Structure 1
Amino acid sequence: MSKRITLFASRYCSTLDRLKETIRRKRPGLLKRCVVLQQDNATSHSANLTHQWLQRYGWEIPPHPAHSPDLASSDFRLFGPLKRHLGGMAFETEDDLINEMRNWFDNLDADFFRVCINSLLSRWQKCIDLHGDYVEKY
């Protein structure tokens, strides 16, 4: 494994550590059951280091067909609203941008995420019904 892949996988595993800690704090019973994590086939997600982390904690990763933008919830549900929110704003520093994005995420209600997850389920079913063919954006 190249040093770059190892670095990205290590950073991703650190992100998973933070996610695990957040779940432990906010939904402690969830970690006693199986956590299902949707991710794509990015190199850091498919690296051996990441697989070892996921196996250690027993997290389940549903299969994700290569090059499937239809199944990336961030592409069809997250980035559009975030882009509209940030549209027209100017930031003096990267930290200003990061703080604005954090504020935006902090102010999203649970329904935003519920709709995102439910629409992902229907998109998965459409993808299965189409034998992996693209699902039209809607």
Structure 2
Amino acid sequence: MEGVVHMEFLKQGQTVNSERDISTLLALKLKLRRVRLDKDAILQHDNARPHTSHQTQKALRQMELTTLPHPSYSPDLAPSDYHLFPQFKKYLKGHHYDNDEEVIADVRRWCRGQSPEFFADGVRQLVKRWRLCVDCDGDYVEK
């Protein structure tokens, strides 16, 4: 709730598949262990294939990473989608970059500049959204 623990950037032309997802999860697990959050961390994945593949699910069990289930028809339960990215898009409006490294540096700078309260607010919104989702038997979609 206090901030971003791990960030990775794909190079142009790369895509996320199970192998890449597992590699990211391993890196995340190591960072969580370093900041002593690995026992309390709960991951939230959507239903994208790399997250739901047999290989990824097996790796999650082996790494003992707890994952919050994601209802099939509720695409708006990820705090990155409804909280983080909309705010970041507002920040990016009007910015121009000469190369990928400038973009990456600015993304990192912006994320580090957000207060713990900013991230906690996104999680508090998640609790509200989950309640609505449960009340609608998993058919909740924010409009």
Question: What letter matches 2:52 in structure 1?
Answer: S
Change (3 A) 1:109 1:34: closer
Q: Does residue 43 in structure 1 map to residue 52 in structure 2?
A: no
Whose Rg is larger? 1
Residues 34, 58 of structure 1: 8 Å contact kept: no
1:24-75 CA-to-partner distances (Å, cap 9, x unmatched) read 111x2x33x3642111011110112211111102222222112312212111
Matched, 1:25 2:34: yes
**Residues 35, 58 of structure 1: 8 Å contact kept:** no
Count the aligned residue pairs.
Answer: 128
**1:135 Cα shift?**
4.2
Determine if contact 2:50/2:56 at 8 Å carries over to the other structure.
yes
Cα distance in 2 for residues equivalent to 1:122 and 1:131: 15
Q: Structure 1 length normalisation: TM-score?
A: 0.84
Specify whether residues 34 and 114 from structure 1 end up closer, same or farther in structure 2 by C-alpha distance, changes over 3 A only: closer
Instruction: Give unmatched runs, 5+ long, in structure 2.
Output: 1-15
Structure 1 residue runs of 4 or more that deviate by more than 3 Å after TM superposition: none
Equivalent residue, structure 2, for 1:52 = 58
Letter in 1 for 2:117: D
Unaligned runs of 5+ in 1: 1-6
1:88 to 83, 91, 94: 94
Structure whose residues are more often strand by fraction: 2
Contact preservation (8 Å) 1:36, 1:62 = yes
Query: Comparing both structures, which one devotes a greater share of its residues to helix?
Result: 1
RMSD: 1.6
Residue matched to 1:97: 103
